[in-house]
Structure 1
Amino acid sequence: MRVALAVWGLDDLADDGALIVSELVSNAVRHARMGSIRLTVDRPGVARVCIGVVDFSKVLPVPKEPNDEDDGGRGLVLVNEPAVHWGTELLPRGKRVWAELRGGEDA
């Protein structure tokens, strides 16, 4: 993630991009419990990046408001902070959870 953003001149998005990748991949591994996942990184604009994780589960994520005692449940809350938008889309064999970041002139 960091290398792709550096190549695109979007270093200012590196920390947020790494956080989003970490949380979306962790959620897919933890909740989808399938044998594989796929990470997608698209650049739909000069300073826009869309990060997605595809898994084979049709169960959509549900954002929660965890309390201080909860061990987990903060993934989508953490993704929502830096993301301009995030969402899910059902696919023929699973789903894609994605988040968009904007930097530079598109921020």
Structure 2
Amino acid sequence: MTSTIATPHSIGRPVYTMVLPCRPESVRRARAFVAGVFETWGIRSLTEDGEVIVSELLTNTLDHTTCPVAAVVIERCTDDVIRIEVADGSHTRPQLADHDADAESGRGLFLVDALSWRWGCDEYDWGKSTWAELKTMTTAPSAPDPVPTSESAR
């Protein structure tokens, strides 16, 4: 049996991990996992984007590998960067390929690319980790200094 308990890590940056079987019903559980972590971190405004990203990354694992399990990892890299990753035992890298706008599938990585600040894939001896990062806040442009008037110069 595969563990599906979300595990917080107590040392270092805030990280939660969930190991899921590579079955279609795991996508729903991964979405709920993202929603719960984002709620905990007080970033509910990013929940929908995070749910779509984890859905697409996990679906790629289901559709393009024969891995029995995948790990979903959510990490708070900095105060303003959240990383969602799906790790599996396959060495097949995801490809952002040309797609047919009328196709019923094949747009997952385009969604990940559109919704995330950046995304990528890291390879390891044991497999790979496909990840996407979201920004939690943007730096507001600074307001220009007020132009002194003859009134304010007095």
Q: TM-score, normalised by structure 2?
A: 0.66
**Structure possessing the higher radius of gyration over alpha carbons:** 2
1:19 to 32, 40, 52: 52
RMSD (CA atoms): 1.5
Shift of 1:105: 4.2
Shift of 1:32: 1.2
Map of 1:6 onto structure 2: 39
2:78 to 31, 34, 45: 45
Map of 2:12 onto structure 1: none
SS in 1 for 2:73: strand
Identity %: 31
Preserved CA contact (<8 Å) 1:87 1:97: yes
Moved more, 67-76 or 27-36: 67-76
The alpha-carbon distance between structure 1 residues 4 and 106, as it changes in their structure 2 partners (threshold 3 A), is: farther
Moved more, 64-73 or 11-20: 64-73
Map of 2:94 onto structure 1: 61
Output the CA distance in 2 between the equivalents of 1:40 and 1:84.
17
Can you give the 5+ residue segments of structure 2 that lack an aligned partner in the other structure?
Answer: 1-33, 141-154
Map of 2:108 onto structure 1: 75
Q: TM-score, normalised by structure 1?
A: 0.93
- Residues 24-79 of structure 1 deviation map (CA, whole Å, 9 limit, x = unaligned): 00001110121111101100111211000001110111112311332311010010
Can you give the 5+ residue segments of structure 1 that lack an aligned partner in the other structure?
Answer: none
- Count of aligned residue pairs for this structure pair: 107
